[in-house]
Amino acid sequence: MTPGSMRGLQLVVADAEAGRAELMSRGVECSEIQVFDDRDGGTFFGFSDPDGNTWSVQQIKARAEKPLIPVEYRDRFGL
């Protein structure tokens, strides 16, 4: 694929403010956090990676309590 050709890739985090702060501390320019809906899942921010691909980061607080990959299995995936 051509660098920068991927648009709208999505990440899900439990805390958008913490995720944005982590990326920014590593020199990544991020958009402001936008709350489209006060319910869980309605908070987003975005950024572009070094190749120019664009990412949308969605906050779903429930992921803190029930991650997609349970903690006990993360070593199997190198996480």
The answer to whether 57 and 9 have CB atoms below 8 angstroms apart is no
Q: What is the mean pLDDT of each run of 10 residues along the chain (79 residues)?
A: 87 94 96 93 95 95 77 68
For position 42, what pLDDT does the model report? 94
For position 11, what pLDDT does the model report? 92
Domain 1-61 annotated CATH 2.40.50.140: no
| Torsion, CA 70, CA 71, CA 76, CA 79, rounded to 10 | 110
| pTM of the complete model | 0.77
